[in-house]
Amino acid sequence: MSMIEFHDVQKYYGDFQALKNINLTVEAGETAVVIGPSGSGKSTLIRTINGLEPIQDGKLIVDGYDLADKKTDPNKIRKNVGMVFQHFNLYANKTVLQNIMLAPKIVLKRPDKENQELAMSLLEKVGLASKANSYPRQLSGGQQQRIAIARSLAMRPKCLLFDEPTSALDPEMIDDVLNVMKDIARDSSMTMLVVTHEMGFAREVGDRVIFMDDGQILEDDTKEQFFDGEPTNERARQFLSKIIVHK
């Protein structure tokens, strides 16, 4: 079974069609990077995967659950499919450690000792073990995002969705977050779908590059095909040529 399957998916905001005839399959363990111009539907695409945005037509199967079926409880999907947002969304009145331990405690009923041990090992992984008892406001944006990633990993998800995780960060913090994401992509069998404007990351990490424009997937290539070959789609070629000029 594939981790994610879109079949002819359509998504509207009122009269506006934000996703047009999306067909996409992502296998377990794959890392796919979603790129494209602003407003092309990238965030909408990944927000449909964990049910944050409903779809209006087509079929969307995630981790075996049918999202087009109104009877499907999105919480069942969110247990195994985590999301890292642009704006971290940490709980301000909880410490870093409490932030990481909360969902596993409530949703998975993980015992405290095991929960804390895993949380501390994840804090070490993201290089922030010394901040366990700090509050989010005492941390930089880059540190908060690394905590948000640790918090998602604490659920031991099968799939992690990243929605422009570095877009709200000062430039000097971006690499710390990208390095954590690269480590995860390298040493895990987890599926990762990453919406990003960081082409260096896409080039280095993605098994696949998915190019979107105007609510459609126009290219779905290996990173070698996309960056070193010639995308077949004219709009993808234009997008790439602009990036290369600005690099």
Nearer CB in complex with ligand ATP: 37/141: 37
Range 152-191, binding ligand ATP (CB under 6 A) = 164
Strand partners of residue 57: 10
**50: contact with ligand ATP by CB under 6 A:** no
**Residue 36 vs 104, nearer CB to ligand ATP:** 36
Per CB under 6 A, 40 contacts ligand ATP: yes
Cβ neighbours for 142, distance < 8 A, ≥ 6 positions apart: 169, 170, 172, 173, 174, 176, 177
Contact flag: residue 115 with ligand ATP (CB under 6 A):
no
Piece of the chain touching ligand ATP by CB under 6 A; list 20-28, 35-43, 117-125, 200-208: 35-43
Given 23, 25, 39, 66, the residue binding ligand ATP (CB under 6 A): 39
Nearer to ligand ATP, 43 or 99 (CB): 43
Q: Which residues contact 70 (CB under 8 A, 6 or more apart)?
A: none
Query: How many residues sit close enough to ligand ATP to count as binding (CB under 6 A)?
Result: 12
Angle at which helix 112-125 crosses helix 96-106, to 10 degrees, equals: 130
Q: Under the criterion CB under 6 A, does residue 15 sit at the interface with ligand ATP?
A: no
Please name the amino acid found at residue 230: E
SS3 category, 216: strand
The answer to whether 42 contacts ligand ATP (rule: CB under 6 A) is yes
Q: Does 11 bind ligand ATP (CB under 6 A)?
A: no
Q: 224: burial class by Cβ within 10 Å (0-12, 13-18, 19+)?
A: exposed
Q: How far apart are the C-alpha atoms of 59 and 69, rounded to whole Å?
A: 9
C-alpha to C-alpha distance for 123 and 162, rounded to whole angstroms: 19
Nearest distance in Å: CB 16, ligand ATP: 6
Contacting residues toward ligand ATP, per CB under 6 A: 13, 16, 18, 36, 38-44, 164
